[in-house]
Protein backbone atom coordinates (compact mmCIF):
# COMPACT_ATOMS: atom_id res chain seq x y z
CA UNK A 1 0.00 0.00 0.00
CA UNK A 2 1.03 3.56 -0.63
CA UNK A 3 0.69 5.79 2.40
CA UNK A 4 2.34 8.89 0.95
CA UNK A 5 -0.79 10.56 -0.47
CA UNK A 6 -1.59 13.94 1.01
CA UNK A 7 -4.38 14.12 3.53
CA UNK A 8 -7.67 14.53 1.70
CA UNK A 9 -6.69 12.56 -1.40
CA UNK A 10 -9.27 9.87 -2.12
CA UNK A 11 -7.84 6.84 -3.90
CA UNK A 12 -9.87 4.83 -6.40
CA UNK A 13 -10.33 2.03 -3.86
CA UNK A 14 -12.25 4.44 -1.60
CA UNK A 15 -14.37 6.23 -4.24
CA UNK A 16 -18.14 5.89 -3.86
CA UNK A 17 -21.08 7.06 -5.96
CA UNK A 18 -22.54 10.27 -4.55
CA UNK A 19 -19.33 11.62 -2.99
CA UNK A 20 -19.33 15.42 -3.29
CA UNK A 21 -16.64 18.03 -2.66
CA UNK A 22 -16.69 21.77 -3.27
CA UNK A 23 -14.87 25.05 -2.85
CA UNK A 24 -16.10 28.62 -2.78
CA UNK A 25 -14.21 31.63 -4.08
CA UNK A 26 -15.04 35.26 -4.67
CA UNK A 27 -13.85 36.16 -8.18
CA UNK A 28 -11.98 39.46 -8.03
CA UNK A 29 -10.85 42.01 -10.60
CA UNK A 30 -7.31 40.83 -9.84
CA UNK A 31 -8.25 37.23 -10.65
CA UNK A 32 -9.68 38.31 -14.01
CA UNK A 33 -6.64 40.45 -14.82
CA UNK A 34 -4.22 37.64 -13.88
CA UNK A 35 -6.19 35.13 -15.95
CA UNK A 36 -6.11 37.50 -18.92
CA UNK A 37 -2.35 37.82 -18.53
CA UNK A 38 -1.68 34.10 -18.20
CA UNK A 39 -4.12 32.97 -20.91
CA UNK A 40 -3.47 35.95 -23.24
CA UNK A 41 -7.28 36.26 -23.59
CA UNK A 42 -7.72 40.01 -23.36
CA UNK A 43 -11.26 40.17 -24.73
CA UNK A 44 -12.56 43.59 -23.59
CA UNK A 45 -15.76 41.99 -22.22
CA UNK A 46 -13.51 40.86 -19.36
CA UNK A 47 -11.36 43.96 -18.91
CA UNK A 48 -13.09 47.11 -20.23
CA UNK A 49 -16.13 48.43 -18.33
CA UNK A 50 -17.28 50.78 -21.11
CA UNK A 51 -17.01 48.12 -23.79
CA UNK A 52 -18.71 45.46 -21.65
CA UNK A 53 -21.69 47.75 -20.88
CA UNK A 54 -22.69 47.59 -24.54
CA UNK A 55 -22.69 43.75 -24.68
CA UNK A 56 -25.49 41.30 -23.90
CA UNK A 57 -23.96 40.99 -20.42
CA UNK A 58 -24.31 44.74 -19.67
CA UNK A 59 -21.05 44.67 -17.74
CA UNK A 60 -17.75 42.89 -17.34
CA UNK A 61 -17.65 39.14 -16.84
CA UNK A 62 -15.00 36.66 -15.78
CA UNK A 63 -13.50 34.34 -18.36
CA UNK A 64 -15.50 31.12 -18.62
CA UNK A 65 -12.32 29.11 -18.26
CA UNK A 66 -11.47 30.95 -15.05
CA UNK A 67 -14.74 29.62 -13.65
CA UNK A 68 -14.00 26.16 -15.06
CA UNK A 69 -10.60 26.31 -13.39
CA UNK A 70 -12.35 26.20 -10.02
CA UNK A 71 -13.72 22.77 -10.96
CA UNK A 72 -10.16 21.71 -11.75
CA UNK A 73 -9.10 22.91 -8.30
CA UNK A 74 -11.72 20.74 -6.58
CA UNK A 75 -10.67 17.70 -8.63
CA UNK A 76 -6.94 18.24 -8.14
CA UNK A 77 -7.09 19.13 -4.46
CA UNK A 78 -10.08 17.24 -3.02
CA UNK A 79 -11.85 14.63 -5.16
CA UNK A 80 -9.97 12.56 -5.98
CA UNK A 81 -7.13 14.98 -5.06
CA UNK A 82 -3.38 15.01 -5.54
CA UNK A 83 -2.18 12.54 -8.16
CA UNK A 84 -5.38 12.78 -10.22
CA UNK A 85 -4.98 13.05 -14.00
CA UNK A 86 -7.67 14.84 -16.03
CA UNK A 87 -8.77 12.76 -19.05
CA UNK A 88 -11.73 14.77 -20.34
CA UNK A 89 -14.14 17.55 -19.43
CA UNK A 90 -17.34 18.84 -21.03
CA UNK A 91 -18.54 22.33 -20.22
CA UNK A 92 -21.76 24.22 -20.76
CA UNK A 93 -21.82 27.85 -19.71
CA UNK A 94 -25.27 28.85 -18.43
CA UNK A 95 -24.68 32.34 -17.11
CA UNK A 96 -22.05 34.99 -16.50
CA UNK A 97 -19.76 35.28 -13.51
CA UNK A 98 -19.07 38.90 -12.61
CA UNK A 99 -16.31 40.49 -10.56
CA UNK A 100 -17.32 40.13 -6.92
CA UNK A 101 -19.46 37.02 -7.45
CA UNK A 102 -19.05 34.20 -4.92
CA UNK A 103 -18.69 31.03 -7.00
CA UNK A 104 -19.15 27.56 -5.56
CA UNK A 105 -17.55 24.80 -7.65
CA UNK A 106 -18.80 21.28 -6.94
CA UNK A 107 -17.91 17.83 -8.18
CA UNK A 108 -19.95 14.68 -7.56
CA UNK A 109 -19.00 11.09 -8.30
CA UNK A 110 -21.55 9.62 -10.73
CA UNK A 111 -19.60 6.60 -11.92
CA UNK A 112 -16.29 4.75 -11.67
CA UNK A 113 -14.33 1.81 -13.00
CA UNK A 114 -12.02 0.52 -10.27
CA UNK A 115 -10.06 -1.70 -12.65
CA UNK A 116 -9.16 1.16 -14.98
CA UNK A 117 -8.99 3.77 -12.15
CA UNK A 118 -11.50 5.94 -14.04
CA UNK A 119 -13.92 8.22 -12.20
CA UNK A 120 -16.80 10.10 -13.81
CA UNK A 121 -17.75 13.34 -12.09
CA UNK A 122 -20.70 15.65 -12.49
CA UNK A 123 -19.22 19.16 -12.39
CA UNK A 124 -20.98 22.43 -11.72
CA UNK A 125 -20.44 26.02 -10.61
CA UNK A 126 -23.08 28.10 -8.87
CA UNK A 127 -23.52 31.77 -8.03
CA UNK A 128 -26.24 32.52 -5.47
CA UNK A 129 -27.59 28.99 -5.95
CA UNK A 130 -27.92 29.50 -9.72
CA UNK A 131 -25.95 27.19 -12.00
CA UNK A 132 -23.54 29.13 -14.21
CA UNK A 133 -21.56 26.13 -15.50
CA UNK A 134 -22.31 22.41 -15.79
CA UNK A 135 -20.37 19.52 -17.26
CA UNK A 136 -18.88 16.11 -16.80
CA UNK A 137 -15.27 15.12 -16.14
CA UNK A 138 -13.48 11.82 -16.47
CA UNK A 139 -10.32 11.46 -14.42
CA UNK A 140 -7.70 8.86 -13.62
CA UNK A 141 -7.66 8.53 -9.84
CA UNK A 142 -4.64 7.67 -7.71
CA UNK A 143 -4.45 4.13 -6.35
CA UNK A 144 -3.17 2.65 -3.10
CA UNK A 145 -1.60 -0.20 -5.11
CA UNK A 146 1.57 -0.19 -7.18
CA UNK A 147 0.64 -0.85 -10.82
The answer as to whether 32 is a domain residue is: no
Contact between residue 133 and residue 124 where contact means Cβ atoms under 8 Å apart: yes
The answer as to whether 54 is a domain residue is: no
The dihedral of CA 24, 83, 68, 130: what is its sign?
A: negative
Contacts of 45 (CB under 8 A, 6+ apart): 51, 52, 55, 57, 60, 61
Average pLDDT, the chain: 94
The arithmetic mean of pLDDT across residues 48-59, rounded, is 97
Strand, helix or coil at 70? Answer: helix
**pLDDT at residue 1 above 50?**
no
**pLDDT at residue 48 above 80?**
yes
Q: How many domains does the chain have?
A: 1
What's the CATH code of the domain at 127?
A: 3.10.129.10
Name the nearest CA neighbour of 26 among 103, 138, 93. 103
Model pLDDT, residue 4: 55
**pLDDT at residue 147 above 80?**
no
The answer as to whether 52 is a domain residue is: no
Give the confidence band of 65 by pLDDT, cuts at 50, 70, 90. Answer: very high
**pLDDT at residue 2 above 80?**
no
The answer as to whether 49 is a domain residue is: no
Structural domain of residue 19, as residue ranges? 12-27+62-140
Phi/psi at 75 (nearest 5 deg)? Answer: -65, -45
Phi/psi at 99 (nearest 5 deg)? Answer: -55, 135
Amino acid sequence: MLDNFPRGTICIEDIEIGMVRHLTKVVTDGDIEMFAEVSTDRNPVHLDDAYAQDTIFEGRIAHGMLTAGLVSAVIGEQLPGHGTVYLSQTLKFLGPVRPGDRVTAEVEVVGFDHGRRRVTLDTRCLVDGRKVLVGEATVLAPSKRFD
